[in-house]
Structure 1
């Protein structure tokens, strides 16, 4: 059985299509990163699909560089400038993100825009079943994730300098329109259930009752845990972050409990009590308690919406792989995942009253 943590953790030699002028980067870092001293060794992280991410090692310190991928990109995608901005603002509030060192939007340096941040030496778990973790710590890992997301949703965007980071209202209708457009721009063949969802979702969207900062891709492998404690020390991959409906953010993570193991390694049908992983009801209760909610209505709609959105994202990854500029070698395998996700999303749409 493949060990996902071994497969996606660590670094590798930089892929040919994702190499850049390391001497130019060295000059930029000398000029822009306080306390920087070379020489510089560059490796590419194995994991990640959207924005290529590199480990920069020097004799005294390690950094991380995250960049837009080369090649023709979908409109508004790969917004590394937004990642840099939101993490800078949240870091100033004590929220767990890496320290930001600099943003470069000049494509003449390494070919695309990029930013540099601290390397956080901790643990990233790619397998949500946490097979390498003592069962006693599994529940605490998920509770730390829950607590971290609730804390994110508690920030007043205006107060921390992110009041103009996005339009706070009508988040889901805008997301449906955006991902419908992105999906059509990367469509490689007709998927009937995706077309049905594009037609159905706009009129079915519930009213938004709150607005917050939303991460947009909050899941286990987008965070770093302390090397010894079951505690989140950094949340990564803010490319899809904006202002919007916190329930869309929370239910995106909650899909883990509603999807089968063969689809994004979900928990559906798993013996969570034996694994010491909280069940869906317990996870929802903890989030509601932390955010002052009495419960979560219309979950079937949210699952349909989030699975549709995920299918559109995965289609984009697959489409980029056909052009040779996706950042993970497994990206080409993603094409086969889109239709089952879309069909499953439509099954929730039918439950929601289609």
Structure 2
């Protein structure tokens, strides 16, 4: 089994014209020679990601999904800019080469970046890595360290001070995701009324330290060195990145963090090996983050519940496209059930919360 992330055949309806792409890139990347082989990375449920293999160089092309897209989502220029301006102070960003704003080329904006060839962990740790509990724990802490490093980046020094508005970030996220959720609602989806009301009632103030917020920091957006899997060499998927409260980013990450003793239905949602022996629990994750960042975290329940609601909003936006026939990707048919489960998880957190 190949440990490095593999591309596959392009899904029906998501094809690219290799000749058109080749002509465009040769006009923008000096020294490019040969013809590209185009394939698609099967992971991900938002932007589409393709591998362009030239004889001597490999690139990754990112474009928005087909069908209905939420307003302001899938901004290729924003992601391209973040990669290039953040890379000097956070060297885990892949190098971006070109951003195409002309939809006539492939039917949408897109950008092309270097391919960082490495291991991306999916649902389970590959046995070939031979990671015992001690090494798995060290990898988990390294994963958290990179999030802390990102939150400590001086975004003004990167020229990214206009990327977002940190003031009022917490309130805007709660109201904004509530609005986006309502717009993506389908008749078979839950309303989330009790959770949304609780989040509004328990709103904390913005943390005084604002930071770059990745908004999608998970193990399957992290690349490991194929020669030393304990070493993180890349972080992907910067499309949702903004400026705001770092604890809200922590809540986003913990929404994906499924522990070994979580109930069986929750285990079905797991997309990263957070249940492996040696991985930190959610509580340990929060405590380690607090220790490394120097940030005191008193209201973990709020940030975790927010993360679950936001994840449900993302899931529902994707399911909306499937429900209305705007994508044929059969993976999305079950997303409404994931949404319902996320609501139940949120209600359980709230029922035990002391906030």
Partners of 2:5 and 2:118 within 8 A in 1? no
Given candidates 175, 192, 195, the residue that maps to 1:194 is 192
Shift of 1:174: 1.1
Q: Offset of 1:248 from its aligned partner? A: 1.1
Q: 1:324 to 1:11 in 2, by over 3 A?
A: farther
- Quote how far apart the aligned CAs of 1:124 are: 0.3
| Structure 2: distance between partners of 1:344 and 1:214 | 24
Moved more, 296-305 or 19-28: 19-28
Partner of 1:171: 169
Equivalent residue number for residue 10 of structure 2 = 14
1:26 corresponds to: 22
2:84 corresponds to which residue? 88
**Inter-partner Cα distance in structure 2 for 1:186 and 1:334:** 13
* 1:67 has 2:63 as partner: yes
Instruction: Specify the alignment match of 2:344 in structure 1.
Output: 343
Distance across 2 between alignment mates of 1:149 and 1:13: 33
In structure 1, list runs of 5 or more residues that go unmatched: none
Could you tell me how far apart the structure 2 residues matched to 1:113 and 1:296 are?
40
* Between structures 1 and 2, the one with greater helix share: 1
Q: CA RMSD in A?
A: 2.6
**Alignment partner, residue 237 of structure 1:** 237
Question: Hey, what does 1:248 align to over in structure 2?
Answer: 248
1:85 Cα deviation from its structure 2 partner: 1.3
- Where does residue 103 of structure 2 map in the other structure? 107
Moved more, 313-322 or 241-250: 313-322
Task: State whether structure 2 residue 270 is matched by structure 1 residue 265.
Answer: yes
Tell me: CA distance 1:150–1:38, structure 2 relative to 1, closer, same or farther (3 Å): same
Per the alignment, residue 79 of structure 1 pairs with: 75
How far did 1:131 drift?
5.3
Change (3 A) 1:214 1:304: same
Instruction: Decide whether aligned partners of structure 1 residues 287 and 180 sit closer, same or farther in structure 2, where only a CA change above 3 A counts.
Output: same
Q: Does 1:218 align with 2:220?
A: no
Task: Determine the structure 2 residue equivalent to 1:291.
Answer: 293
CA shift in 2, pair 1:333/1:191, >3 Å: closer
Q: CA 1:327–1:282 in structure 2 vs 1: closer, same or farther (change >3 Å)?
A: farther
Q: Which runs of 5+ in 2 are unaligned?
A: none
**Separation in 2, partners of 1:235, 1:149:** 10
- TM-score norm. by structure 2 comes to 0.89
Distance change in 2, residues 1:288/1:269 (3 Å): closer
Q: Relative to 1, partners in 2 of residues 1:43 and 1:324: Cα closer, same or farther, differing over 3 Å?
A: farther
Partner of 1:321: 322
SS at match of 2:212: strand
| Residue number in structure 1 paired with 2:335 | 334
Equivalent residues, number = 346
